[in-house]
Amino acid sequence: MEWVNINSLLLDSSNRRTLNQILQKEKELDPNNIPPIKIDMNGKIIDGVKRYLVLMKWEAEKIPVIRESRNSKVFISYDAKSKESVMLAA
């Protein structure tokens, strides 16, 4: 997890939320315990649009994020002889 400037994040214009959705999320959030927003390597929001919009409303400067690398892959290999699965991270 890292903290980034809220103005550095990119919001996908196709990912719209209604005012009621944002106000509902605002009621649910604890200002002292905000779950991180998931972003890609370019700063585009993947998950957490409503949290982002609430934090913008609250005029937050830095917010918690988790960057997801598109290069992160997990492979599962199955060995027929031993009948074991092995998970490998690349």
User: Per-residue pLDDT tens for 48-87?
Assistant: 999 999 999 999 999 999 998 765 554 455 556 665 545 4
pLDDT at 17: 79
pTM for this predicted structure: 0.69
Per domain, the residue ranges of the chain are 2-89
pLDDT band for position 9 (cuts 50, 70, 90): very high
70-79, Cβ contacts within 8 angstroms, sequence gap of 24 or more: 70/40, 70/41
Of 7, 70, 10, nearest to 43 by C-alpha is 10
Task: Note the CATH number of domain 2-89.
Answer: 3.90.1530.10
CA dist 55 and 61 (Å) reads 9
User: Per-residue pLDDT tens for 12-43?
Assistant: 877 777 888 888 889 999 988 989 999 999 99
CA dist 77 and 52 (Å) reads 38
